Structure 1
């Protein structure tokens, strides 16, 4: 039996890449799910990283993949499996009259449908051989505070928070879950924010000032603390948490 294995969505860049790197560095094999691969990560960790090319906005394609054997084969032989639902999109930004309907559908698919589908699939994969399953939804402060221009992002992240609360209420044996807000991290998503217009996101300049003043958390530092919590005995005690509180 292998002690622990992990699944990380959106492992090709940003926080997902940093989390995958951190887990691999700790000797935990990672199954990465993303539209694109991460050649640099694969070169450093060889067979410990298995990559699957998936567009998580395509719910039908994801359902088809989950109906296959890859996830079950990956989970097989592990006593504990970690799922980090990291993949997400900030788009569409802007008030309702500026939101493209296809972008709304894509955001709901990536930010909500995919993590819920993956969590449900993991709960069934591997049977009784898997003693423990841990699901971490990468949430956001935007799930708990409304921001002008981010109605879709706020709503989809709030959905993850409430999903975690309800799953915890199910009290499924051997399953722990937490929707964790990681703080403001220096990732490509922050670049999207700074490149937006004030019409689409009125608080753009505040985030730009945070970047200019060094107020953004480095992805690798965030990933270290996230992994610490994911592997901690207290993981999932609260279904919704903020990493900044845990770091104090």
Structure 2
């Protein structure tokens, strides 16, 4: 049995990823604030196992317990072959220049985009250290990790931090007896709810808003399903470099 844990699984890239994972022999565990009835129907039709865990992952004090609970259930499976943890949940807000952002929103974004994946990874590696199976952690990154964008100071910083965390843990796991493979994946611009948030921001807060409106109007946004397809081709292969930051542009 292959297990896939996907955060932010009810919409966008998370939903598209789960759709493609719902096959016989896979058990997909979705962590999100809301359930998705379409995914449940698809799982039943395809004979796949699907579980939903409704959680708000900005509440960092709950993260360790969530990972402990999920892995304790997975460990009971004597047919366990592979386990994947896809840290997809994230938020682009607050889209505000420094000095104008709400401190509670900044804290929430840092927790969800950076602290939550760090805590998940730390507990995952601790609990699976002796597991003799394929173990992979995937952190969803962004091109914003590599360049400053007006109004995105929190988002850029958290994604840059996530990439460096990924590189460092990958280095550390190179010395582990039963290593976990960790990677970051930058999906590029996609037609998701997050893009809608960006297009509806104020120009005084985000001076590049017209460019993002043009992406949408000219059909330049990739579909989440296409991006998910490329992501899964990568992580299910045997050619993943531990600690590497991958970009969708490498696969199109």
Give the TM-score range, shorter chain: over 0.9
Structure 1 length-normalised TM: 0.93
Structure 2 length-normalised TM: 0.91
Indicate the residue corresponding to 1:140 in structure 2.
Answer: 142
Q: Deviations over 1:165-186 (max 9, x none)?
A: 1011102333111111011110
The offset of 1:101, in angstroms, is 0.2
Q: Tell me the SS of whatever aligns to 1:178.
A: strand
Match of 1:167 among 150, 163, 169: 169
Confirm or deny: 8 A CA contact 1:140 1:183 kept in the other structure: yes
Unaligned runs of 5+ in 2: none
Indicate the residue corresponding to 2:190 in structure 1.
Answer: 185
1:218 equivalent to 2:219? Answer: no
Confirm or deny: 8 A CA contact 1:79 1:129 kept in the other structure: no
Q: 2 CA distance for matches of 1:25 and 1:201?
A: 41
1:74-223 mapped onto 2 (5 Å cutoff): 74-77=74-77, 78-126=80-128, 128-170=130-172, 171=174, 172=176, 173-223=178-228
Indicate the residue corresponding to 2:73 in structure 1.
Answer: 73
Q: 2 CA distance for matches of 1:180 and 1:225?
A: 10
Match of 1:242 among 216, 238, 247: 247
Question: What's the C-alpha RMSD, in Å, of the aligned pairs?
Answer: 1.7
Higher mean C-alpha deviation, range 96-105 or range 42-51? 42-51
Q: Tell me the SS of whatever aligns to 1:113.
A: helix
Q: Tell me the SS of whatever aligns to 1:128.
A: coil
The offset of 1:237, in angstroms, is 4.4
Q: 2 CA distance for matches of 1:150 and 1:123?
A: 31
The offset of 1:199, in angstroms, is 1.1
Q: 2 CA distance for matches of 1:114 and 1:50?
A: 20
The offset of 1:65, in angstroms, is 2.9
Q: Deviations over 1:97-137 (max 9, x none)?
A: 21100001100110011111112222233563441211110
User: How many pairs are equivalent?
Assistant: 244
Q: Deviations over 1:29-70 (max 9, x none)?
A: 111111111111012104611010110000112233334x33
1:61 equivalent to 2:70? Answer: no
Unaligned runs of 5+ in 1: none
Q: Deviations over 1:195-223 (max 9, x none)?
A: 00111111111011011111000011111
